Structure 1
Amino acid sequence: MGMDLYDILDEEFRPLVLPNARLEVLATGRRWLEGPVWLADQDCLLVSDLPEDRVLRWCPDGSVSTLRQGQGWFENGHARDRQGRLLACSHRQRCITRTEWDGRITRLAEHYKGLRLNSPNDVAVHPDGSIWFTDPPYGIQTDYEGGKQVSELPAQVYRLDAELGELAVATDRLAGPNGLCFSPDGKRLYIAETGLQFAAEPVQHIRVFDVAEDGRRLDEGRFFHQVAPGNADGMRCDEAGRLWTSAGDGVHCLAPDGRLLGRIHVPAAVANLCFGGPALSRLFLCCGDTLYGIATNTRGAALL
């Protein structure tokens, strides 16, 4: 497969990928994989098979087991808080949850000003411990990802102060906020705008927002990059601040100034991705019914 696997558009990309690395099928035969998160202390990857209401555990020995299934959560995005507890976006229950160390599931946020959230999609944790998540209505507009329900709030991005339980709108400037990712220093927040779900020509691009020094507010944001083919969804930063984003033809690597450095070709559109493995140098890719993995020569940002 070698370098045919890659498009090197900028020489900065060349040392980030490995000519002898293979794109490996890690699991297949699922329905729609989403929300990958690496658990370094447990040496495993968690990933959602969203339409099946199932969270799977993949281990480096190739085994795949079920963490939970059929509990009515229909989980999408995952992250870990600063204590290492699992955070999840529930479509069906329209909330953000935290799995405690004893296995109990706590609902952290499900209402804003007395109204129900839509269907939290993706979640990221700022270095200060606050929990940020996107809340488009995608999960309650079909029966495929959780079930049709009535939307009570516009699509927004929220900041949750986990200690105080205070929920605030971080931005309401996106019609369809989807994947999100902080820069390693927490000073930038990247958000994938995927627009209105059934629009003929939805607005789809990545926007970047500066985070205020107090870690509580965003600026008005600005255009960062237009992914093509397809659109951006899930994304992660590496330790140098480069953004690795999902795309219609695989994974695109972007410089902090928005330049496209290179691509990794994948047989199917990538919905979400994360870094993992012992050195955080392996990319795990959710591609429809298949989970792929590929080794890189960079490391994911050391955020939980």
Structure 2
Amino acid sequence: MMKQGVTAKDVAKLAGVSQSSVSRVYFEGASVSAKTKEKVLAAAKELGYRPNEFARSLITNQSKIIGLVMKGVQNPFYPQVLKLFTTSLKKHGYSVLFVYTNNDEIQKEDIEILFNYNVAGVVITDASLSLSVTEDFIKYQIPLVLFNRKIDNNKFYSVCCNNYEASKRIAEFLLSIGCTKMIYISGNENTSTSREREKGFSAMLKGSKVHYQKYSSDYTYEGGYNIACEIIEEKQLPDAFFVANDIMALGVVDALKDHQIAIPNETKVIGFDNIEMAAWPTYNLTTWEQPITEMVEETVKYLLNELEEYSGEAKNLEIDGSLILRKTT
């Protein structure tokens, strides 16, 4: 732990060098001899000194901090994502500044803290951007990635699973095991993930002349549970449920169990994400695995490239996942 009040001046005194030499040791790319660096680091270790990252960012106009804005913290998928980003960025010398938002569309007040901390780049996981916010990122040339979202405009870079192809493969699989009566439970209608997953599912079923019913929910466990209870009460039990994310699918599974409906004999359930809970013995949920490790790696790669030389490149990068077969089908 750093001793209270230890400054660069104290380190310089103990090392027998100038204060500016101490600063150069901690500023990446600054010219400093190996002997001086060794003396400064030894003195810093003895005193328990750590450089002030925020103060350094004010001087260099860039920090070693990446902002991560997240809304769906109640969905276990996103804490997994946060862990992967933190681990990956740490390997490259960056820390994560986590910002929670309660808004579906990111507003200026949500990102004020990011600008205050002079972040080097930003990742937004599960929300859209207001027009005023997009202009600020472009104006200040701050690299931005929309993660697990596909955008229609060409202003920013986005990284997501290939949701359209994934849901086509899910429909293809359900058709191959004899399902002809299906229900799709969507998440929030204004998200690209929910729209793309329905489009692919619908396209494959339409090609096979099989119809499906759609029910809208909110990407929560409670939402999935309540919709399933509603369907059961209406006596509309399908051959299979395709649910737009795993946490809703787990709610569907529990609702079916509570009504003594046997899975997969009486109906089948497929989720999307492959969160850790999906593999728990009590669920054993068949699901589509999002390739989040590769998605995070591609996001970090883009950010590092943009920090090296800002280009403002904008495109949608879609990565294929895979079907994970378990006991709900």
Fold-level similarity (TM above 0.5) = no
Structure number with the higher strand fraction is: 1
Structure number with the higher helix fraction is: 2
* Higher alpha-carbon Rg: 2
RCO higher in 1 or 2 (8 Å CA, sep ≥ 6)? 1
